[in-house]
Amino acid sequence: MSGNFIDVAILGREYRVACPPGEQEALLAAVAYVDRKMQDIAAKSKTAAAERVAVMAALNIAHELLSAGKAESPAENPETPVDGPDFQRRIGAMETQLDAALQGQEPLF
């Protein structure tokens, strides 16, 4: 680690990330959490495409935050692009589109 940067590894790839002084422990905890989520998805997925794994991990983490009430819900912020009842359907649609795009195919819907 040098200056306000820290070197981390996520899904086997190295990244240098800006980190404010005193925030290293929190950043490393976040890195470990994201890496664990991405490793789980990569292990269950048919593809090892890092972009797809990252997007699915982001969607899963966002869903966890919204479900736990730790992120703004659409009712609290009308500009939030997802609503509660529609959330799982939209995640499934995004996953289908990602799969199709990564395989060079058009989605079926």
For residue 14, the domain's CATH number is: 3.30.160.880
Over residues 59-75, mean pLDDT: 75
Asked whether residue 1 is domain-assigned, the answer is yes
Pairing of strands 13-18, 5-10: antiparallel
* Neighbour count for residue 42 (Cβ, 10 Å): 19
Give dist(CA 10, CA 6) in Å, integer.
Answer: 13
Helix (H) or strand (E) holding 9: strand 5-10
Considering the domain boundaries, does residue 101 fall inside one?
A: no
Q: What is the pLDDT of residue 68?
A: 79
φ, ψ (nearest 5 deg) of residue 77: -140, 100
Whether 18 is in a domain gets the answer yes
Question: DSSP assignment of 95-108, as one string?
Answer: HHHHHHHHTT----
Q: What is the pLDDT of residue 91?
A: 66
Residue 31 maps to a domain: yes
pTM for the predicted model, two decimal places? 0.62
Number of domains in the chain: 1
In a domain, 99, yes or no: no
Residue 82 lies in a domain: no
pLDDT in tens, 6-61: 999 999 999 999 998 889 999 999 999 999 999 999 998 877 788 889 998 999 89
